[in-house]
Each structure stands twice: as structure tokens, then as C-alpha cells.
Amino acid sequence: PPHEVTKNFLHLPTLFDQDRSQRIWDLLAKVPEVGRLIEHPAVLDRAHQVLGSDCVLADASATSIGAHTDGGAWHVDVPLGQLPEPLPDFPLTLQNVWMMDDFKAANGATQVVADSHLTRRKPVWGEEQKEATVLEAPAGSVAIWLSNTWHRSGPNVTEDPRRAIICYYSRPWIKPFTDYVSRLDGESVKTFSPQLRYLLGF
């Protein structure tokens, strides 16, 4: 029905960068063990501090930034990219990246622009940022930022992909990017903690 249609009509491909990079959507339905990262206290405690104890999971996916790719465009995340400026002056969403490989400037580590969330605007498509910070850290680390912080994947000039798991939390009154209630099978859900089930909308 029309009243259930999400406002996000962006085309988000599975393969990009001339098919050298890849996103894996609906990750929890494919790898239920990712639930342990979603409710990891190092991340969830911060999400509760920023968004409130009733926040929910909007999405969990994985990315592989391929070798010899140019890096992504600067952006803010859904639903902020679809909202008019000025953007809200309080946080709607929070993002984190679990690093499956060492994140380095050379292999496409995520880049952020410090304090860009304070501008309450979206970056202009193609706009360059001279003051970007590269989130370099060893595999197993996690980085957390407000989703209205300007960010992108950096260029990967190495021979190997740079891989990560991305979890995305939102206020409970924002429609999640993924409808976990309809996507997850009942047997998997039974193995989840009450806290994880709440985050997924059950």
C-alpha cells in the first residue's frame, strides 16, 4: 500500500566501482551471528547515549571496496540525504563500521569531515574536502560517527579489497531501511536475545 512505501527511492547497487566493489544487503538474514556485533556494548551503549534507549537497528550490511578503485562520493546517510536543508540540529541516526581488514589510507579506509554535522547541510555532489580525516585502525576495530557527518570510502590503490560490516541505528520513529520482521525466519529469531529482538522491531 502507498502508506507503507519508504521515502528512500535511491538506487543502491550490489556491485559498484565497475563491479570491483560489492555490498551485501540483508546481512543478518544471511549471517545471524552478526547479531553479536549489532548488540555489542561498545557500540550499543553509545547508540543509547546518542539516540535514546529505545533506538532500533535501521540496517546491517557488508561492503568490500575493491582494489584500484577511486573512492566514493561524500554523503550523509538515509534519511538525511532525502531531507531539506537545514538538516535537524539533533541526531537522527548513528553509524558504525567494524573493520574486517586493516583500515589504511592506501586501501580505501573510510574518510570523515570533522564537525561537518554542525553545518546542517549535505555535501555537494563532487565537492572535494581538503580537511578529511582517514579512519585508520587495525582489523577488529570499530569506528562510530553520526550519520549526518560527511563521509565516504577512500580510494583503494592496493591489490586487495578492504572489507567491513556496517551497522546503522536510528530513532524508533524513523522507518528502518530493512524490514527485519518480514525478512528474518522465526527459527533464527528465537536464538536472538530480547535486546536484539527489540532492536530488530519484534
Strand partners, 65: 162
Q: In the prediction, which pLDDT does 16 show?
A: 87
pLDDT exceeds cutoff 80 at 108: yes
The whole-angstrom separation of Cα 87 and Cα 164 is 28
Indicate the SS3 state at residue 169. Answer: strand
Cell of 72: 566514493
Query: Hey, is 26 helix, strand or coil?
Result: coil
Cβ contact 76:123 at 8 Å: yes
Is the model's pLDDT at 13 over the cut of 80?
Answer: no
User: Residue 8: pLDDT above 80?
Assistant: no
pLDDT of 58:
96
pLDDT reported for residue 6 = 46
Q: How far apart are the first and last CA of the chain?
A: 21
Kindly list the strands in the beta sheet with 151-153, ordered across the sheet, starting from the edge strand earlier in the chain: 132-134, 110-113, 151-153
pTM of the model: 0.90
Residue 5 has pLDDT above 70, yes or no: no
pLDDT bracket for residue 9 (50, 70, 90): very low
Average pLDDT over residues 181-193: 91
pLDDT of residue 114: 95
92: which strand partners? none
